[in-house]
A and B are shown apart, each in its own frame.
Chain A
Amino acid sequence: MKTIEQKGMYPKFPRSGKDTRVTHYCAGCGHGIVNKLVAECCAEMGLQDNTIFVDPVGCGVFTYYYWDAAHISAAHGRASAAATGVSRARPDAVTIAYQGDGDLGAIGFNNAFQAASRGEKFGCIFINNSLYGMTGGQMAPTTLEGETTTTTPFGRDPALTGHPLHVCEVFSQLQAPVYIARVSVADTKRILQCKQAIKRLFEIQRDHKGYALLEILAPCPTNFRMDPLKAAEFCKNEMEAEFPLGVFKDAEKGVGGSRSCATEGGADAQERVPPASASLVVKPVPQVASCAELFGVSDGVDAPPAEDDPAVPERRFKFAGYGGQGILSLGICVAEAARLEKRHTLWFPSYGPEQRGGSASCSVVVSGMPIGSPTVEHPDVLVCMNQPSYERFVGDVKKGGVVIVDATVPLTKQPPEGVKLYQVPAIQMAEDFGVPKAANTMMLAALRAFKATGLGDESLETALCASFKKKPQLVEKNRDLLRRAEDALLNN
């Protein structure tokens, strides 16, 4: 027997485990017809080398047996997410996702909807046969009211299970898609229309125009419990009554769309409303040629790598206060100064809900040798700018350590024996200097004045200046503040 060549399909289907050209679809199944049409369109348009099909889980799972093109077999419901990955990875390819109504309409609805909303550049062929086929004819979101399925044995009751989900109507509310249509394969005329629509879907992908969705109403004789002709009649009469055929949106041809699309709209499409604020504009992404160019410039201090020096003892710092007092940047400043001196350095903030109001703290560890534990259980130096953190941390300070606390903090607790306490009017001094935000710079001045860091004066000053790298006009001002504050502290 001579086999008739089917355009776009393998001559035989060895991936099915059989050396034949028989598909796994039931007689009269809409998938079989659509599979033939998709293969024809892909071949006739010369796109087989360029196409990547993303296959679903469901009755469409085995399209890779048939279509002669590259395939990726996705998880149930995730073909649109996978197709997003494929089309982003291979923007020059033609990416086509093939999904059923359980796959797309239920478990994977949000993935499909969000991909459409983002305007991903792939085409989605969505087979609506009003139920789950592969798993045994259960209710799908598209099941008609009153339709009997294995999970609606008394007919779908909208009072309990809602109404059929209209995917095209929902998706056509989105701005990004360029093509949304519903066709059917219930008779010859419809099959020919369906082929034209599939061709359109491929064209849009070939030309990389954007997201396209084609819903295809398909009969499922096995689960309808009907012969193929009756199933086709059901598809034409009952399903089309619920799901009208038509082009919901074709941006290039000016069809549909309440808001205009990425491509130029026609008569029906309204002009895009400009954003209300002129500041809400997409900025061009600065392009760099390499990682070295991107990361070659330091945001802060330009410091050499650390060098091991066993003679330099480890010193642990805790900085604490209210969020907004510059606690975290004070810690970074000390850390950067240590880096300048080639010390091993570690900075660690309090994070999570804490950082959104209330107290903030950070820890810094400076050492001549590689640092072990990052947590500061017993600080050598504690800097506190508010009462709660003073009360929380003061008892932990190591013997021989230093506590520097803002003068506004009442000393409700005494530090452990052998710990030196300095009360510094950092907040007041910053206000007196006319820069209330610089209370942390006042604390840095105190750390420097009292020689509490074990780091050189020059390093601390350089680190402070480097922290204003992005606001160069503030560098000299802060250098000046640091020196004046230090003078004031040393002279009192």
Chain B
Amino acid sequence: MTKFVKSNEAVVMGALYAGCDLYFGYPITPASEIAHGAAKWFPMLGRTFVQAECETASVNMMFGAAGAGKLCMTATSGPGFSLMQEGISYLAGAELPAVIVDINRAGPGLGNVYPEQSDYTPAVKGGGHGNYQTFTLAPASAQEMCDLTIKAFQMAAKWRTPAVVFADGLQGQMMENVTLPDAELPRPDFSDWAAQGEAKTRQNLVKSIFLDAAAQEVFNEHLQRKYEDMAADAMAETYLAADAELIIVAFGIASRVARTTAETLRRKGLKVGVFRPITLNPFPRERLAAAAKGRKVMTIELDAGQFADDVRLNLAKSGLGAEAASVMMIHRMGGQVVTVDDVVKAGKMILGK
């Protein structure tokens, strides 16, 4: 079945196919369509929708539902995402699978409802307290809003971690074709650790507390090993990159601007390609290094440079110090989207044409 749907609705469809049983949410523009879809469709499938009193409640309801062994989710935007950080830290600390969708709006503060990617650091690096990370995916189309939401549930369950679907206000509102999966995923079995109210789970304890410093350190080391292992599930794609002299690195909506830019510059005879991380954490470092080695590198982003810094860090950690040092950035903020015209101009300049 192929449908023409708003990306925000595609998220709900993906979640339902993934076997998500509970949705907890608080309204916020530009993510509200996700709650609207969930409010209608979850109950129709006999699943649960709860409108929480605030985002703090949403995330802690998820803590309870995930702790009780069910797949659950919420969706929000910047200010709500900030409020959830404590709870996401608890989810990570208790190793609970749950999916948080952040439809990034412009900030800081109240800002406005237009697209930014400025929640990059909290969405990718773990925005709350303690040494934790999330599995973070960055869709770039309505199809991926569905597919990567499904992937987020799979990764959350596989790695026992909160997963973040990180998109932006423009993407959330976009309508495109979405081909839905053929089948719903089976529910994972969490009875070896979840508190399910059954005899077999009576001895299970869901907690993030380690009163003993040594035990807390051992747990932290376990988490860090897990995050290293997650690298096996990193995802990325390249476009026109094989012979490119300039690689544009961008994720989410910015990667689509990059794509059009590369096509435009190729038509002018300039060798420009695109590298797009699909997972932002784990970051596809090796693939980035392979695509960027010996090339000129430019990022496109809707923030102040948080992503460019991460690209530099990943290049440097790959031993590509020179490439890291020379990373350039084209960016807009405040809800403005980088235009193809601007990137084309910058690309020409970089390539000296």
Contacts and interface: CB of A to CB of B under 8 A. Distances in A.
A285 B68 contact: no
B195 A71 contact: yes
A13 interface: no
B181 to A, nearest CB: 8
Interface string B22-62: 10100001100000000001011110101011101100111
Given A81-B57, A93-B197, A345-B4, A374 B13 contact: no
Decide if the interface of chain B is mainly helix, strand, loop or mixed.
mixed
Nearest to B5: A299
A468 interface: no
B4 A85 contact: no
Contacts of B253: 374
Contact of A373 (B50, B62, B63, B259): B259
Contacts of B113: 351-353
Chain B interface size, as a band, is 35 or more
Contacts of A94: 197
A55 B90 CA distance: 14
B260 A348 contact: no
Interface string B178-210: 011000100000000001111101111111110
Contact of A114 (B57, B65, B260): B57
Contacts of B1: 292, 295-296, 298
B64 A114 contact: no
A111 B65 contact: no
B30 A93 contact: no
A50 B175 contact: no
Interface stretch (A125-133, A181-189, A264-272, A300-308): A300-308
Nearest to B181: A291
Nearest to B215: A17
Interface stretch (B118-126, B312-320, B337-345): B337-345
B257 A373 contact: yes
A286 B41 CA distance: 10
A333 B263 CA distance: 28
Given A335-B4, A373-B259, A72 B57 contact: no
Interface in A75-101: 75, 78, 81-90, 92-95
B4 A70 contact: no
Interface in B135-185: 169-171, 173-177, 179-180, 184
A87 B258 CA distance: 46
Given A75-B63, A89-B65, A372-B256, A346 B206 contact: no
A-B pairs with the 7 shortest C-beta distances? A93-B197, A85-B64, A372-B260, A82-B64, A70-B195, A372-B259, A81-B60
9 contacts: A72-B207, A84-B57, A86-B64, A88-B61, A89-B21, A89-B68, A90-B197, A118-B50, A370-B259
Given A72-B195, A294-B44, 18 more contacts: A55-B207, A70-B197, A78-B57, A82-B64, A85-B64, A85-B68, A89-B48, A95-B197, A111-B53, A287-B45, A288-B44, A290-B184, A292-B1, A373-B256, A373-B261, A374-B171, A375-B257, A375-B337
